[in-house]
Structure 1
Amino acid sequence: MSAEPGRVSDLPRKWAPGHALTVVAPSSGRLGVVDRAVDQPTPGLWRGPGSLLVWLLALYPLWWVLGLQALIFPMLAVPMAISLTRRRHVELPPAFGIWLCFCLVVAASLLMLDVNPPGTVAGGWLGRLPGALYRFGGYISVTIIALYAVNLSEREFPRRRLIGLLSYLGLVTVVGGLLGTFAGTFEFTSPVEAVLPHGIRSNGFVKSLVHPQASQVMDFLGYETPRPAAPWGYTNTWGNIMAICAGWIAVAAFCFRTSTRHRVAAVALLAIAVVPIVHSMNRGLWLNLGVIAVVVAVRMFIVGRLWMIGVLVGAGLVALLAIAVTPLGDVVSARIDNGHSDDGRGYSTEQALAAVPHSPVLGFGSTRNTVGSADSIAIGPTEACPNCGSRTLGGNGQLWQVVFAHGLAGVACYLGFFLAVLWRFRRDHSPVGIVGWVVMVLSLTSMFYYNALLPPLVLTMLCYVLLWRNERDGAVEGMAP
């Protein structure tokens, strides 16, 4: 006997009071049976099933202030894993086996940490282990968080709540961007940073994880320019998450039965977001917004909603006009005229690809630093120029990190997972399906210039969870037709 996804079967309730046994048809893509609560009232926001997601996402500004902006993901993944072990059955969503294979490749690539490809700074397995374990722990955290969210029923944790949390993070990102734009020098010592030994907290990578700052201040225009980063640590991470969350702001405001005031506030928020988006001088973000517009327009054309294409075109023209007639246009022009990182990124990519034949299957387990730069092996970082020379191979985009650190096996699994997800949910033309699908596309386009660990990949996986739960659980209650 079988039941359709999201429906309770007619089988006797033999598990426990308030629970029903659901047997899933093989075509649904799920494994085994799922025990679902059906009679109990919906739990509160901060307690009960799904509350760990609320603590993780809703309180993210607090974690940033405390210096836990990156550490909070593995920290809360531990109780999430414990929660999963207490379930009678753990559901695996479609294509998740490919992702688990990727995690196995990441683990196997740790064996290659002592390999020194030509042109890189020599080192040993033990010295490279901490950074490699941080990345491996990040992928495990992403995996646990995704499984935790998948195994929540609609009654336990409604999809609308998760959509609300993602749109809320969009609001947080815009506010952080405004802080970075107009108070770019704002920074402070976090409690976590204060208790770390000086030798550890002075490390650039560690500092980026525990030191709250509104922006990354750079001088590639000939003068110091703040580029919004709060509360995500890096400007590129800020831009990546801005693109991921923008669509969920629109879904939360316009695809549910909400008040006019709520919708006006959402439009105002997206309009205000143009200011930090431009001042971030983040070309990857600008490209991602273009990708979003094109993909959504194509999906709207497929389902015959031509009026939505007109809305997208109109909104784009208004944004471009606003940029052209305000000082924002000068910022865009200055950024286009100053490539800044183009040469360094090109050199890092070239060197990373050149190293692949020395460990093609499993890669090198982690990143490496080059000896010198593209101009000379004698060029290295100095106090006046900390970013000169010694480029990080695998640090200029998720694709390059995967191919360098985890080899062709890692690339096959990583790309295979996202391509399989895109194929599986290609026919979901609901608002949740379209925005979730667009985020999956962004994971492939932005991998050439953004690193995804850790917050962007977590949010991307939660969008994947929404795609599956949308198919599994049917129509979202309260969503406008």
Structure 2
Amino acid sequence: MSDTAVRVRRLRWPVRAVAAVRARAVAPVEPGIRDRGAWAVRTVRLPVWPLTLMFGFMPLWWALGAFQLAWPCFGVLLFVLLATRGRIRLPAGTTVWLAFLGIVALSAVRLHRLGGLGTFGLRLGLFCTAFLVGLYVYNLARDRVPWARVAAPLCAYWVGMVALGWLGVLVPKFGMPSPVELALPRGLAAQRFLQDLTHLDSTEFNPASANPIYRPAAPYPYTNNWGTGYAFLVPFVLAYLTAVRHGPLRVILLVSLPLSLVPAFLTLNRGMFIGLGAGVLYLLGREIARGRVRLLVPVAVLLLVGWLVTLIIPVVDMIQSRTSTTDTNLDRFDLYVQTWAAVLHSPLLGYGQPASVDTTHAAEPLGTQGMIWQLLYSHGIPATLCFYLLLFVVARRLAAAVTATGLWLSALPVIAAVVTPFYGYVDPNLSVLCAGIGLGLAAVDGAVNREPGVPR
């Protein structure tokens, strides 16, 4: 072996410690080099702190009134880190995601006024951020960053959401303008959409209801968003508890899980119960079909705890009272009918975003009150089909999971599909969903949950 070869090999370790640098400097002076690894792009591990900043500090962003408005900025941060790292692994469904985002971006040509570009850009940013969160989590786990570290930010998000849910239980009339709302120009702050996103309210309250009730909503503007986030996070928390057997965070989650039932039941979100029920039935069906019953015990425990809570909170009676004293079902049906009629006039690209129109009963804009309706009205039938195809591809891939942790995560795309007719989640909840799915995909695609060995 020549001296030049020896010298180049000694340079390998310092080069590996530098992020994304090519060893081109040795080429002019060492023309006889045969070490091809010296020409390879060197990568560094992705940090976990951006996820902690996004999810772990959620109560702070809510208190500032920047929770949803600043969320796409975190997506830009993730994009920069991924682009700087290079050599990104792409999980199942990436092509469908990109096609979906392309159709959504193209639907901007259907906007009727330039003033709508702001809200359209925010929703597009939320879609892109969710995709980047899933990609980031997937690559973190495939880099064998410990499972507990990758999942901890989302667990902190869960704890913050439960705490704010209890704020709605204990202080249901809490409400105040946020710093972001006060900083907005008066014309923008008066818009209903921006006011809902920036004003601080612990609950959602409908004074027009014949039987009004304060329903926990914080950190979201609407209680339905709280229920959707709850439906996405419960399987994730259960997956963490089955994967991590010790530590203070596990204790906190074990305490917060039963405590979360009180604000969850007080939201009176029927779609939340339907989504979670569908996820449980899906998992039990899979297990029984394979001759296994290991999930029966934890599911039975959860159902028992839920039943005990209903002895204190008559949630069934409250839901029946709400539906019997309001026109919520009639309002939704009328909204759905008129939304579908409008979609038939622009089936390919929709109208860019929901629009306020006169309806017989409903006061909400067309293209709201359900993910499927928002996608159909705002972005057209092809985008909606892409979204459902994405959920199908992910669900099919996650069906390969065999551990208890993977099984809980495999229920996420099923829950997401079931709640689409009832609730929309073009908000941080979509990022929550993609984070859980990204972690599940990483588990079925390769080794996870252990530190990487020294590269040789």
Structure 1 length normalisation: TM-score? 0.80
Partner residue, 1:226: 214
How many residues are paired up?
422
Superposition pairs of residues 6-405 of structure 1, within 5 angstroms:
16-18=15-17, 37=44, 49-113=47-111, 124-152=112-140, 157-219=145-207, 222-258=210-246, 266-324=253-311, 326-328=313-315, 330-338=317-325, 340-370=327-357, 372-374=358-360, 389=363, 391-405=364-378
Q: Distance in 1 between matches of 2:408 and 2:19?
A: 32
Contact residue 235 and residue 408 of structure 2 kept, 8 A: yes
For residue 209 of structure 1, what is the amino acid of its counterpart? L
Q: Distance in 1 between matches of 2:228 and 2:82?
A: 29
Q: Distance in 2 between matches of 1:220 and 1:161?
A: 46
How much has 1:315 moved relative to structure 2? 3.1
Q: Which moved more, 1:102-111 or 1:326-335?
A: 326-335
**SS of structure 1 residue aligned to 2:412:** helix
Contact residue 49 and residue 157 of structure 1 kept, 8 A: no
Query: 1:328-350, CA deviations, whole angstroms, 9 ceiling, x for partnerless residues?
Result: 45434423534542112111111
Partner residue, 1:28: none
Query: 1:269-294, CA deviations, whole angstroms, 9 ceiling, x for partnerless residues?
Result: 22222211111111111212212321
Q: Distance in 2 between matches of 1:305 and 1:19?
A: 48
Q: Distance in 1 between matches of 2:148 and 2:253?
A: 16
Partner residue, 1:407: 380
Identify if the C-alpha distance between structure 1 residues 251 and 125 changes in structure 2 by more than 3 Å, giving closer, same or farther: same
Partner residue, 1:6: none
Identify if the C-alpha distance between structure 1 residues 302 and 431 changes in structure 2 by more than 3 Å, giving closer, same or farther: same
Contact residue 422 and residue 437 of structure 1 kept, 8 A: yes
Partner residue, 1:4: none
Partner residue, 2:417: 444
For residue 69 of structure 1, what is the amino acid of its counterpart? F
Q: Distance in 2 between matches of 1:451 and 1:165?
A: 23
For residue 368 of structure 1, what is the amino acid of its counterpart? A
For residue 416 of structure 1, what is the amino acid of its counterpart? L
Contact residue 193 and residue 210 of structure 1 kept, 8 A: yes
Q: Distance in 1 between matches of 2:252 and 2:54?
A: 25
Contact residue 299 and residue 429 of structure 1 kept, 8 A: no
Identify if the C-alpha distance between structure 1 residues 320 and 86 changes in structure 2 by more than 3 Å, giving closer, same or farther: same
How much has 1:362 moved relative to structure 2? 1.5
Structure 2 length normalisation: TM-score? 0.84
Contact residue 35 and residue 89 of structure 1 kept, 8 A: no
How much has 1:458 moved relative to structure 2? 0.6
Contact residue 144 and residue 450 of structure 2 kept, 8 A: no
Query: 1:210-242, CA deviations, whole angstroms, 9 ceiling, x for partnerless residues?
Result: 112111112465244111011122211111111
Match 1:468 to one of 436, 441, 444? 441
How much has 1:374 moved relative to structure 2? 1.6
Query: 1:297-341, CA deviations, whole angstroms, 9 ceiling, x for partnerless residues?
Result: 223324443142144234314422441465545434423534542
Q: Which moved more, 1:165-174 or 1:206-215?
A: 165-174
2:440 matches 1:454: no
How much has 1:130 moved relative to structure 2? 2.5
For residue 341 of structure 1, what is the amino acid of its counterpart? T
Identify if the C-alpha distance between structure 1 residues 134 and 315 changes in structure 2 by more than 3 Å, giving closer, same or farther: closer
Identify if the C-alpha distance between structure 1 residues 339 and 274 changes in structure 2 by more than 3 Å, giving closer, same or farther: farther
Query: 1:437-458, CA deviations, whole angstroms, 9 ceiling, x for partnerless residues?
Result: 1111111111111111111111
Q: Distance in 2 between matches of 1:34 and 1:156?
A: 19
**SS of structure 2 residue aligned to 1:218:** coil
**SS of structure 2 residue aligned to 1:151:** helix
How much has 1:154 moved relative to structure 2? 5.2
Query: 1:139-167, CA deviations, whole angstroms, 9 ceiling, x for partnerless residues?
Result: 22223333333333555743322322222
How much has 1:74 moved relative to structure 2? 1.0
Contact residue 141 and residue 439 of structure 2 kept, 8 A: no
How much has 1:470 moved relative to structure 2? 1.0
Q: Distance in 2 between matches of 1:434 and 1:338?
A: 40
For residue 170 of structure 2, what is the amino acid of its counterpart? F
How much has 1:466 moved relative to structure 2? 0.5
Unaligned 5+ residue runs, structure 1?
A: 1-11, 22-32, 39-47, 114-123, 376-387
Tell me which protein shows more helix as a share of its residues: 2
Unaligned 5+ residue runs, structure 2?
A: 1-10, 21-39, 452-456
CA-based RMSD: 2.8
Contact residue 72 and residue 122 of structure 2 kept, 8 A: no
- Taking only the aligned residue pairs, the percentage that are identical comes to 26
Q: Which moved more, 1:317-326 or 1:280-289?
A: 317-326
Q: Distance in 2 between matches of 1:361 and 1:406?
A: 7
For residue 80 of structure 2, what is the amino acid of its counterpart? I
Q: Distance in 2 between matches of 1:318 and 1:333?
A: 22
For residue 67 of structure 1, what is the amino acid of its counterpart? G
Partner residue, 1:25: none
Identify if the C-alpha distance between structure 1 residues 435 and 338 changes in structure 2 by more than 3 Å, giving closer, same or farther: farther
**SS of structure 2 residue aligned to 1:366:** coil
